[in-house]
Amino acid sequence: QVQLQESGPGLVKPSLTLSLTCTVSGGSITTNYYNWNWIRQPPGKGLEWIGFITYSGSTAYSPSLKSRTSISRDTSNNLFSLQLSSVTPEDTAVYYCARRGRLDEYDYWGQGTQITVSS
């Protein structure tokens, strides 16, 4: 069974960069044809897709966040990471990592990590 686990700082000060890591077990992040996503949910709002990195290392980002977002991976440690720069309180959310397969379903999710942007 595939398991994903987010790791993050909890609290981030405005204007700084949020860095999150998703560690994957039970499956390789290089396995065809999955992609590995970051998704967030601000309080009282719906899920917002941030971006993904594919099994081959290609990336794609939400247009609204693209200028501030970078997703990368470490295949040796079977993890992928998110960097979101210049954060504001509007970036406060629960951040999830999730796998998406060939049917476009998010079949495995991490438990989520709460990120609060505040001075």
Per-residue pLDDT at 90 = 97
Q: For 9-65, how does the pLDDT look when each residue is reduced to its tens digit (9 = 90+)?
A: 999 999 999 999 999 999 999 999 999 999 999 999 999 999 999 999 999 999 999
59 in Cβ contact with 69 (< 8 Å): no
